[in-house]
Chains A and B, each alone.
Chain A
């Protein structure tokens, strides 16, 4: 093997890298209609995380994408059970505006949620639609993270649509789920042009050459490790990162540094970025 990366060597031979923990910024929870998961619950997810050295995963439950009240309650319990390993995105379903308001009202009362999960394609509702506005306003006011599913050429959540929304809420942090899969140039442009937009590698990582392009054209400090766990084995994404033609410094940025920085304001006892902590989670 001519890949001389010490990080790659560690993952290959030991299964984890003690000097490079992993933070997964795009997870889910529980069974899903169209796929067999051997391990869809916390015990199995933790087993996969432990083996690969994944310190923490930020999740939305699959149920919450359909029924936010039930699903977010499920996710809150998982976070209570495993506060050091699980954080959450509170999903909102824009097709039921009253429920969006209810989820915003509940937000300060459940620990461990770092922001909102949008799945415009799954809910067949455009990311630019009015029913997302209350959650976007709240995320901006409270300096929260918004992870939105994005996909190339989608009528609901294309990279351009995120590029339309993100500048209006500069104090919110936007994670472009799947990096606008397939519409790479547009997605990279949105991430470059907006300081508050980051690229999530979930699923995108497997496209040969994409990680190199992100590092070259956007910067590794704007890319985040993600797996859709329990969909995808953390080792698959880690393997794509380890065997990309990038530097170990870039690998560390993707695997944990940028996520550490984004999550710092939400972690008890951590040192938040300047000016972020005072407004988090308050009404």
Chain B
């Protein structure tokens, strides 16, 4: 399987952690240890310092690593912290950023059409994936407002969030889920049996999650080899090919 991890980061967090990867080189070594070919990457500063710092650092520090693909945080267009929406999209193109991330809690905004309408109206036709944590109420409203937005929900699942996300998956065909914390026994097979293998993308959530948990869970899931290949990397590669900033 050619694993393409949609959900990894590097950089020094503000608090003590059992694993700290300060540099992209250290992340690449860990990917190699686990046999992961490439990854969508964010810098820890994006959450703990500022979106501006994180967006700059991830581009600078992954420049020499073709296997690492940078992702950026969004901020409300009204504060103009990244210029106009079109300037932001042009910057994405220039820096090879193919996917975006939303942190409504850390960056303190409401993830809705009122705040992000002008940006999301541009993301929909461009099919740029937006990665969001399990903020179920916000996601439910967001997808009602932008049903064709390409969304990847990352890090869901400590208590098995199927009761939240299955209604959304059933209704919105551009909604995808990562597998970083999808630990439910038979969960992947049960999901694939109902919705097919196109809606899941492999992610580890590393760090803080250990990289090998989601990897082995997918590698040994009770689904077809074709389904495993798709979830391990092909679905994400397809989403990124479709994206056109």
Contacts and interface: CB of A to CB of B under 8 A. Distances in A.
B163 interface: yes
B220 interface: yes
Nearest to B34: A243
Contact of B212 (A52, A230, A240): A240
Contact of A207 (B184, B209, B214): B209
Interface string A25-52: 0000000001111110000110110011
B220 A236 contact: no
Given A2-B32, A184-B18, A239-B214, A206 B185 contact: no
Contact of B222 (A2, A35, A51): A51
Nearest to B21: A208
Nearest to B20: A209
A38 B217 contact: no
Contacts of A38: 184-187, 189-190
A37 B162 CA distance: 9
B141 interface: no
Nearest to A228: B183
Nearest to B18: A209
Interface residues of B, number: 35
Contacts of A1: 32-35
Contacts of A239: 210, 212-217
B184 A36 contact: yes
Contacts, number: 130
Contacts of B29: 2
Contact of B183 (A11, A12, A232): A232
The interface residues of chain A, by DSSP majority, are classed as helix
A51 B212 contact: no
A211 B184 contact: no
Contacts of A44: 185-186
Contacts of B33: 1-3, 243, 245
Interface string B31-44: 01111000000000
A234 B186 CA distance: 10
Contacts of B212: 8, 239-244
B162 A233 contact: no
Contacts of A15: 220
10 contacts: A2-B35, A15-B220, A44-B186, A206-B213, A208-B17, A232-B185, A233-B217, A234-B185, A236-B217, A243-B211
Interface of A: 1-3, 8, 11-12, 15, 34-39, 44-45, 47-48, 51-52, 184, 205-213, 229-245
Given A184-B18, A233-B186, 14 more contacts: A1-B33, A11-B216, A36-B163, A37-B185, A39-B186, A48-B186, A51-B222, A206-B209, A207-B209, A211-B210, A234-B185, A236-B214, A237-B213, A238-B216
